[in-house]
Chain A
Amino acid sequence: MTIALSGKDVAGRIEKSLPGAVVESGTGYIIVKGDSLPAVARLLKETPELDFDYLNYITAVDYFDFFEVIYQLTSLAHNHSLVVKARCPDRRSPSLPSVVSIWQGADFQERELYDLMGISFEGHPNMKRIFLWEGFDGHPLRKDYLK
């Protein structure tokens, strides 16, 4: 059984080397500051006891006040998991640092989020739309389209 790590424990560990990076933590998840995302990601991947080598998926949710980007991580060796979240309050041009250099699996998924949710990932090697055509007006998965 994959064990969901306690967000509080992981947050405490991150706090030691990256003070102020974690905004909130709870059962199985931590919320980190957007700017410190790559540093936190690298720490999670490279700390041997955590060893989060596998990025299951990335997704985002539009909560009107902010976009929440969700990273589900798993360590194949330890068989434990953690959800890392980051929030972008800026609706006009939301952006987060890319994690492609840490987990290559983020490549297509960050492009998908850019395409459908309109969040751009800085440092992504090929930040362009993936499903819709260039010039498409808007980002369909946003909650802008009210009935």
Chain B
Amino acid sequence: MTTRSEVMTLKTEPFAVNFGPVHPSTHGVFRMRAVLDGEVVLDIEPVFGYLHRGVEKLAEERTFTGFIPLTDRLDYISSMSNGLAYVLAAEKLAGIKVPERAEYIRVIMAELQRIANHCIAVGAFLNDCGAFFTPFLYLFREREKIIDLFEMVSGQRLTYNYMRIGGVSQDLPEEFLPALRKFVDQMARFIEEYDFFLKQNEVLLARARGVGILSQETAINCGISGPVLRASGAAWDLRKADPYSIYNRFDFDIPVGATGDSYDRYRVRVEEIRQSLRIIRQAMEQIPGGPVMADVPRPLHPPTGEAYAHIESPKGELGFYLVSDGSIAPYRCHVRPTSLINLTALREMVRGWKVADMIIIFGSIDITMGEVDR
């Protein structure tokens, strides 16, 4: 017979649990091997590779232009930004100058994409917090309007294949700018309403504030970029720090967080939606007429050499490193994977927190597996 004192001294031991690869909280085919002590996370080991398609190798078998559709499949939540980063690298390599109108179109698309991405990031994060699907659905409704705009210019709803080396694939249709103006006004009203409901929401504050703090020092040492880095207090945004395209012509602020907790990461994204709307408003005012495509030789033979171009994608620094041997295909194409590098500090961030907090911390980083595994 077990006595009471024997029960009290019951031995416990840590055990390993797999989260994913197929699990709603992991936002894709990501697997976390977590070692738990009861409900407390002692350690995790991220396991990758379930969506590895060898994109970098595939690039070597394609022409420089032929690789553009594959970039859409990296971070498929924000395909426009991927295309932009790639064509900037190819243009740097080949020394191509892009027409003014195309630069403005690119900025408008990249900022719309940022809003669409943050709609998903914020919505999914609130989902993880337990606000099950109500805020997510409202944000999805708004994202749908952006997708309609993208469909108007590219004919696609997810993999746009719109950016081209030397410009964009086609000019804006006549009805685009009026529709965009309508969207921007309406989105500005929506985000105020949304923020009003959630900014001081007690459940959100209780679940996210102070949870998963990432210090600025660790963030920088881990090479973390984007909203995650800025939430930790570093005002590092490539649109300001290393302006590409025509970003130096626009007036906008870089939102930063104070403590680097999950709540700050959420706040930075909401604020970035406002700033993107500001940029789009200015771009709509300034956009000139003219061609949308430079005179690019076909097929394109960039001279022998190497180039790296990076952009501030919605998730952080997205870059392409291209090496040309003078042929029509890249000799080497490397993607600087924002999502993979942003996961570097995950282990430190979740240690010591409960399982439910681990889900929130992971959700607040905002990754896409297509870009992690490539």
Query: Total number of A-B contacts with CB less than 8 angstroms?
Result: 79
Question: Known contacts A2-B241, A108-B344: does B310 contact A53 (CB below 8 Å)?
Answer: no
The number of chain B residues with a CB under 8 A from chain A is: 34
Give chain B nearest CB distance to A142 CB in angstroms.
Answer: 10
Question: Known contacts A61-B332, A105-B341, A108-B341: does B223 contact A55 (CB below 8 Å)?
Answer: yes
* A36 CB-CB contact with B under 8 Å: no
Q: Which residues of chain A have C-beta atoms less than 8 A from B321's C-beta?
A: 57, 59, 70, 72
Question: Known contacts A55-B223, A61-B331: does B310 contact A132 (CB below 8 Å)?
Answer: no
Proximity string of chain A (105-128) to chain B, C-beta cutoff 8 Å, 1 when within and 0 when not: 111110010001000000000000
B323–A61 touching, CB < 8 Å: yes
The residue among B49, B319, B331, B341 with the most chain A CB atoms within 10 A of its own CB is: B341
CA distance A127 to B332 in the complex (A): 24
Q: Which of A1-36 contact B (CB under 8 A)?
A: 1-2
B332–A131 touching, CB < 8 Å: no
Chain A interface size, under 10 / 10 to 19 / 20 to 34 / 35 or more: 20 to 34
B341–A109 touching, CB < 8 Å: yes
Q: Which residues of chain B have C-beta atoms less than 8 A from A83's C-beta?
A: 308
Main secondary structure of the interface of B (DSSP, over half): mixed
A131–B317 touching, CB < 8 Å: no
* B291 CB-CB contact with A under 8 Å: no
CA distance A72 to B225 in the complex (A): 14
Question: Known contacts A2-B242, A54-B220, A61-B331: does B57 contact A141 (CB below 8 Å)?
Answer: yes
B54–A140 touching, CB < 8 Å: yes
Give chain A nearest CB distance to B75 CB in angstroms.
Answer: 15
Q: Which of A45-94 contact B (CB under 8 A)?
A: 53-57, 59, 61-62, 70, 72, 76, 79, 83
Q: Which residues of A contact B (CB under 8 A)?
A: 1-2, 53-57, 59, 61-62, 70, 72, 76, 79, 83, 103-109, 112, 116, 130-133, 140-141
Query: Beyond A108-B341, A140-B57: 18 further Cβ-contacts under 8 Å?
Result: A55-B223, A56-B223, A61-B332, A72-B321, A103-B221, A103-B223, A104-B222, A104-B344, A105-B222, A108-B48, A108-B340, A116-B56, A130-B49, A131-B48, A131-B49, A131-B374, A133-B49, A140-B54
